[in-house]
Amino acid sequence: MDLTYTEEEEDFRARLRAWLARTLPELPPRPDPLDWPGRRAYDMGWQRRLYDAGYAGLHWPADAGGQGATPTQHLIFLEETEKAGAPYVGANFVGLLHAGPTIASEGTPEQRARWLPPVLRGDEVWCQGFSEPDAGSDLASLRTRAWRDGDHYVVSGSKIWTSHAEVADWCELLVRTTPVSEAVPKHRGISWLAMPMDAPGITVRPLRTLAGSTEFAEMFLDEVRVPVANRVGAENDGWRVTMVTLSYERGTAFVGEVVACRRVLGDLAREARKNGRWDDAVLRRRLGRLSAEFGALWRLTQWNVSESQRSGGVPGVGGSVFKLRYSHARQELYEAAGEVLGAGALDLDHEWTLDRLSSLSYTIAAGTSQIQQNIVAERILGLPKGR
């Protein structure tokens, strides 16, 4: 497989670099990481700049409001923006990287017209309402109930680890439209809804992470009315729609972070040379192995993007291979950062210390490593399901 870039793709890279060089010096100071309203405003301001320049939803199809760029051009965009130190998607993560692409793939023309342009313009933020206290890795066990009442679903239940709920306008919500006791198998009784976060009956309680931030929340739903027109896909077909969502989350959502990790690795080597830790042969070998690891992950990313391009834009099960290995490699990277920092690894004001704490969640977020191993075993290696 040819993983080199074409002349057209390199021209795209050059134009993007020139735009970033002009635009980044004009950005306002970044807000306090704990100021979520401020972060929302900053992130949405960056999204609007991307939209005005023609870089918003770059890889989305043109009929969904995107630019219709190839997955390879999207990969170049992620690579160059990260190298330039451009803002990440931040509060727009759910809307731009998986709720939006899911609606683009599975939504009706009316749903696309309503929800996709505000995501691309930076007008509306989405949160993810999938996991529940008793349905995390086993997502099909969710019990948040939705029953029909005329043109609405009435939703009651609770969600946890709801990303960006406290600043969101919409929630991609998984609900049970057929009780667990009646759904055989249980995943067939689930539906995918777009829930307005200003609807009566919604209570959001932020959760504080080890790093002190509150990008997750508990969410309690007490007879919240959601229009039936807000269902994406057919009733009880939400599991299939969810697999589209998760394929984006696992397949392409972490691509920019691989570039960031390669940059951090170079910074670690420079810091180790400066503070004398470079004399430790074990540490040098560890950094060298991590360099090879992230180089391989970047090549895997290119391969996954090529496969996505051939399959119509939806990432395949190769995303689970990437997610599985990347989660552990990121944790190993910041363990190495702790070695380089020495006693400084206890400084909570140091960026690497905060990243080290956040890296602990990566083997859980977007599907636990155990779930990814099952997917790889069953769907790639063809092994039988466990009993």
Distance, CA of 328 to CA of 343 (rounded, Å): 23
C-alpha R_g of the chain: 21
The answer to whether 249 is a known catalytic residue is yes
Query: Closest Cα to residue 199, out of 164, 225, 175, 162?
Result: 225
Query: Closest Cα to residue 23, out of 55, 70, 69, 71?
Result: 55
State both tokens at 19: 């735009």
Q: Residue 163 has what DSSP assignment?
A: B
Distance, CA of 299 to CA of 79 (rounded, Å): 13
Q: Which residue has the tokens 């599985």?
A: 324
Q: Are strands 126-129 and 216-227 parallel, antiparallel or unpaired?
A: unpaired
Distance, CA of 363 to CA of 370 (rounded, Å): 9
Angle between helices 255-275 and 318-341 (to 10 degrees): 20
Q: Residue 107 has what DSSP assignment?
A: S
Distance, CA of 161 to CA of 111 (rounded, Å): 26
Residues 6+ apart with CB under 8 A from 3: 299, 302, 303, 306
Q: How many CA atoms lie within 13 A of 255 on its CB side?
A: 26
Q: Give the type of residue at 207.
A: L
Distance, CA of 274 to CA of 288 (rounded, Å): 17
Query: Closest Cα to residue 64, out of 106, 124, 92, 12?
Result: 106
H helices of 227-280, in order, are: 238-251, 255-275
Task: Give φ, ψ of 138 to 5 degrees.
Answer: -90, 70
- Catalytic choice (26, 249, 335, 351): 249
Distance, CA of 219 to CA of 15 (rounded, Å): 43
Residues designated as active site: 249
